Structure 1
Amino acid sequence: MPLRNLSLRHTNQVLLLWVLSVVVLYFGRVFLIPLAFAAVLAMLLAPVASRLERWHLGRVGAALLCVVLLLAFVGGCIFIIGVQAANISEQLPQIQQKLQQLLAQAQQWIQQQFGVAPAQQIKFVQEQVSKLAQSANRYLTVSLKSFGGLLSGFVLVLLYLFFLIWGRAKIRKFFLQLAPNERRAEVGQMLNEITKVAGQYLSGRLLSMLFLAVIYCVGFSIIGLKNALLLSLIAVLPTLIPYVGAFVGAFFPLTMALVSGSSGQMLPVVGVLVAAQVIDNNIIEPLVMGSRLNLSPVFTIVAIVVGELLWGIPGMILFEPLLAVIRIVCAHVPALHPYAFLLEDEVAEPRWVQRLKQLVHRT
């Protein structure tokens, strides 16, 4: 009887902890999302800051330079996209003509299949447009608020990033002081693993995106798709979101191939997208990312779904490395070892990947 009561009380405590965690994550998302992004970026840039400090730049100077490097990277991406997007304006007459042809073909197909005359189709579309126009002001206000929130969130990320890089040594000492003396070495090892996993995950994701951008650009250029560089960048950006991002990114080049290209470009574009994803998933990601997160695929998908429910798109990006941090913490706490075992990846790394990594390390 006491054992049953103890088990029931433990179960209730665990459930209460999960409920409180979900409540805090959901209602505190305005504060937690910028902080989480800054923490992951700080782990990525920590080796850069350490190298700069060894060059006698100082903690403040190293932190400022890391923020400047991040701004230069983001600004460079925006500049390239802006320059390429300006070229599309020259093709607007061709795109409009192509859209009119597609619209006429769609109207003809609807009339043949459902017997709806083009005039009735146009009337229906006009009614829907008028309904959308009535709520345009509301959507515009929401969009402006979202844009303002995005700008303020980005500024907060930069501020948090600066202070996290500047005070990373003090933050590390704080966590070490929380642990008993006999366990400080293990806590230090846990902090090292967390820093390494989070930083390497983001760097591996960026390398994978760079590979996809190059393959997309080369492939689209070979098949003659216009604005290949712009479409490649737009198609790659959503791949920050695991699993879902590849399908979202594929929408843009396929749409452009349908609108501005010839009808024979659709299949080659699909071929380039599929070939790049197959190579990336089976060769590039195992090499640059491998089993760094060491997460079960099932719980990875669960993390993405829960992240979207709680934080939206930022949650889909952040909850996977966050779950990896939880796994590392569970692995270093004896009472939580079963949870670490449950979250671990049960799929072994391919031997050819291990051998290739050994060759890379030798060279």
Structure 2
Amino acid sequence: MRNLSLRHTNQVLLLLVLSVAVLYFGRVFLIPLAFAAVLAMLLAPVARRLERWHLGRVGAALICLLLLLAFVGGCIFIVGAQAANISEQLPQIQQKLQQLLAQAQQWIQQQFGVAPEQQIRFVQEQVGKLAQSANRFLTMSLKGIGGLLSGFILVLLYLFFLIWGRDKLRKFFLQLGPNERRAEVGQMLDEITKVAGQYISGRLLSMLFLAVFYLIGFSIVGLKNALLLSLIAVLPTLIPYVGAFIGAFFPLTMALVSGSSGQVLPVVGVLVAAQVIDNNIIEPLVMGSRLNLSPIFTIIAIVAGELLWGIPGMILFEPLLAVIRIVCSHVPALHAYAFLLEDEVQEPRWVERIKQLVKQK
């Protein structure tokens, strides 16, 4: 019994090590494919609706791609149009930044006794060190942009073929299971498609709420370029947990540099209020327990995703872990792992009541 237990443990550890190696060394291939798979699950209902309108499988897939391109292009256009307004305010921002730097120099001199000349000399030395690696940074940035564009093209190609051939893929997975369990395999595939698609749609609805709330709040506060700052603050929230802190940095910086000192606290209030409402009301309603993942394993998935795939991993590993949980729940030998990954936090009763009212309507 001890040998069997040790053998089983070694097999699990070997599988884990091999999986990590494949995920890390195959990330260039796997990241676009994973994005395309999640988007295909999101757009599957749209494709089915278009096919019922007699557009054909190819036409439905092409329209889904056009909808995705229109959404991405619209976001880029809005950000670009709003960013042009900031260029007109650069002289004012520069003047305010100089005032803040002067105040910071005075504070450092009072607290630490470092003269402004020494502070400037220190800054110049650091700038000189940064300038030595400027060419390398520029080269890496250009490579990163090229990789991003090529990755996006791959996502579009994968997405087209996944939507076009989704029935064949479904039949393939059904044939992998024994005949007596094909119904359960089909149920598992339906759950995976539903969970992944609804997670992305719920995340987008949450981002839409935050964008509108930020826009209204920043406009009331009087923060300039409220629309651009709202979009910049919302986009990082695709990353669970840490995205909200990343997105809040730029509005706070702009409130400090381009606005008045009295705008900082109101902007903080808007950011905090939006997150409180989103975390406690919006997300439970539009997302609820769709992923059904334990909070600790959600955090582990985000950390592991960043280590293996970077920012794309922080976005993708949470729904991918939910897919693993669903697979484990349908394999008798893996039920214990599904139980371990399941969310132990019960959904609030008021959320259940609101969902029941919505279903009745």
1:350 counterpart residue number: 348
Once residues 110 and 236 of structure 2 are traced to their aligned partners in structure 1, the CA distance between those partners, rounded to angstroms, is 38
1:191 counterpart residue number: 189
2:69 corresponds to which of 71, 74, 79: 71
2:23 counterpart residue number: 25
1:49 counterpart residue number: 47
2:262 corresponds to which of 260, 264, 268: 264
* DSSP-derived class of the 1:225 partner: coil
2:167 counterpart residue number: 169
| 1:90 positional shift | 1.1
One-letter identity of the residue aligned with 1:347? V
2:248 counterpart residue number: 250
One-letter identity of the residue aligned with 1:133? A
Q: TM-score, normalised by structure 1?
A: 0.99
2:14 corresponds to which of 16, 27, 40: 16
Deviations for 1:19-76, whole angstroms, at most 9, x for unmatched residues? 0000000000000000000000000000000000010000000000000000000000
Once residues 18 and 103 of structure 1 are traced to their aligned partners in structure 2, the CA distance between those partners, rounded to angstroms, is 51
Q: What fraction of aligned residue pairs are identical, expressed as a percent?
A: 89
Once residues 76 and 141 of structure 2 are traced to their aligned partners in structure 1, the CA distance between those partners, rounded to angstroms, is 20
2:236 counterpart residue number: 238
Once residues 82 and 286 of structure 1 are traced to their aligned partners in structure 2, the CA distance between those partners, rounded to angstroms, is 33
1:88 counterpart residue number: 86
* DSSP-derived class of the 1:305 partner: helix
* Aligned alpha-carbon RMSD (Å): 0.4
2:138 counterpart residue number: 140
1:274 counterpart residue number: 272
Once residues 245 and 12 of structure 1 are traced to their aligned partners in structure 2, the CA distance between those partners, rounded to angstroms, is 37
1:293 corresponds to which of 291, 308, 312: 291
One-letter identity of the residue aligned with 2:201? S
2:215 counterpart residue number: 217
| 1:146 positional shift | 0.6
| 1:260 positional shift | 0.5
One-letter identity of the residue aligned with 2:234? V
Once residues 123 and 274 of structure 1 are traced to their aligned partners in structure 2, the CA distance between those partners, rounded to angstroms, is 39
| 1:106 positional shift | 0.5
1:40 corresponds to which of 38, 41, 54: 38
Deviations for 1:209-242, whole angstroms, at most 9, x for unmatched residues? 0000000000000010000000000000000000
Once residues 132 and 111 of structure 1 are traced to their aligned partners in structure 2, the CA distance between those partners, rounded to angstroms, is 25
Once residues 133 and 267 of structure 2 are traced to their aligned partners in structure 1, the CA distance between those partners, rounded to angstroms, is 36
Once residues 226 and 128 of structure 2 are traced to their aligned partners in structure 1, the CA distance between those partners, rounded to angstroms, is 36
Once residues 137 and 258 of structure 2 are traced to their aligned partners in structure 1, the CA distance between those partners, rounded to angstroms, is 29
Once residues 44 and 167 of structure 2 are traced to their aligned partners in structure 1, the CA distance between those partners, rounded to angstroms, is 10
| 1:243 positional shift | 0.1
Residue 327 (str. 1) matches residue 317 (str. 2): no
Once residues 64 and 309 of structure 2 are traced to their aligned partners in structure 1, the CA distance between those partners, rounded to angstroms, is 27
2:301 counterpart residue number: 303
2:337 counterpart residue number: 339
One-letter identity of the residue aligned with 1:131? K
| 1:115 positional shift | 0.9
2:157 counterpart residue number: 159
* DSSP-derived class of the 2:89 partner: helix
2:100 counterpart residue number: 102
Residue 228 (str. 1) matches residue 226 (str. 2): yes
Once residues 336 and 41 of structure 2 are traced to their aligned partners in structure 1, the CA distance between those partners, rounded to angstroms, is 27
* DSSP-derived class of the 1:294 partner: coil
Give structure 2 stretches of 5+ with no counterpart: none
Which stretch of structure 1 is more off in the superposition, 203-212 or 114-123? 114-123
One-letter identity of the residue aligned with 1:112? Q
One-letter identity of the residue aligned with 2:270? V
Once residues 96 and 4 of structure 1 are traced to their aligned partners in structure 2, the CA distance between those partners, rounded to angstroms, is 71
* DSSP-derived class of the 2:223 partner: coil
